[in-house]
Amino acid sequence: MSAFETLLLERRDGVALLGLNRPKARNAIDETLRAELPRALAEVRDDESVRAVVLYGVGGHFCAGGDLRAMSARPRTAYESRQRIHAVHAWLPEWVNLEKPLIAAVDGSAFGGGFSLALTADFVLASTRASFCQVFARIGLVPDMAALYLLPRIVGLQRAKDLMLSARVVAASEAQQLGIVHSLYKPDELLEAAIRFAARFTEASPIAMGLTKSILNQSMHLDQKALAELECFAQGLCMDSAYHREAVQSFLAGEPLGFLWPKEGEAPAVPQKQEAPAVLREKGDVE
């Protein structure tokens, strides 16, 4: 199942389920979790059978941010604190740019670094009881884990200032209005909905998905000429793929294409294995 101490990693027919597994601490990020996240990233990145990833929190909360109790246990110099954050940025950009669709299933709190972690996802699905907070200002810190880069690109500069400088709590419904959250679900339906959502991508071209995401993530800071060059390069690779050739043959023959996004209200294809993931089989207690 999982070789991690603070994470659950399962694979289900093309979908990797990655659970933050410190429920008694509301999945706050301690040193062990910080070290295991890049290891899990490498596993799902290098596994060609994984077409999409679902990131969730065990026990009713997504992630409460940094574990202040653990961080306070050992005082650090300013340089050591800088290096600690710097180490996160050694792998976090690779998480943002993972060339596979990443879906965050946010239940309960997504505060501080937990909010930042949710922002790394391509799609954030949330429960109706989810809440988000850039809590850093309350304890005299600046937002970290790439929130300063990601949040303004999602909600705009002025709204990012509102959320970061006020450190106010944002309910799931407002987060959806701001464009942070894609869709809302009842708490007991969220994880399975996220798995079904991720399963939609298992029939898509991994080359096209990965290149599209990679170029989009660069589009905000490249000029038109640079983007055109990336477009030409990427399209050449896609047109030379077996996936594209087979899709064209299906289209010309009048056959249904393998990757079609379901219409509103239409049930998407789901993985064959129907066994519940670990988070539903082994619920942890939340403080």
Q: What pLDDT, on a 0 to 100 scale, did the predictor assign at position 264?
A: 53
pLDDT in tens, 263-276: 655 554 443 333 44
Q: What is the mean pLDDT of residues 1-17?
A: 91
**Count of Cβ atoms closer than 10 Å to residue 223 Cβ:** 7
Strands laid side by side in the 169-171 sheet? 109-111, 131-133, 169-171
What CATH number is given for 7-202+270-281 in this structure?
3.90.226.10
Residues paired with residue 57 on neighbouring β-strands, in sequence order: 20
Which tokens go with 118?
């949710």
Q: Tell me what pLDDT residue 270 has.
A: 41
Reported confidence tier of residue 68, pLDDT bands at 50, 70, 90: confident
pLDDT tens by residue, 194-225? 999 999 999 999 999 999 999 999 999 999 99
Residue-level pLDDT at 74? 76
Q: Which long-range contacts (CB under 8 A, 24 or more apart) does 212-218 make?
A: 213/97, 213/98, 213/99, 213/100, 213/101, 213/122, 214/97, 214/99, 217/96, 217/97
pLDDT digits (tens, 9 = 90+) for 142-185: 999 999 999 999 999 999 999 999 999 999 999 999 999 999 99
Provide the 8-state DSSP code for 283: P
Contact 215, 230 (CB under 8 A): yes
Q: How far apart are CA 27 and CA 143, in angstroms?
A: 18
51 in Cβ contact with 277 (< 8 Å):
no
Q: Which of 9, 1, 6, 109 is nearest to 55 (CA)?
A: 9
Q: Which of 282, 270, 209, 284 is nearest to 241 (CA)?
A: 209
The CA distance from 126 to 110, in Å, is 10
Return the bridge partners of 199, or none. Answer: none
Mean pLDDT for the chain overall = 90
pLDDT in the model for residue 2: 58
Number of residues written out for the chain: 287
Lowest-confidence pick of 34-43, 82-91, 139-148, 266-275:
266-275
Q: How far apart are CA 45 and CA 63, in angstroms?
A: 22
Residue 178 pLDDT = 98
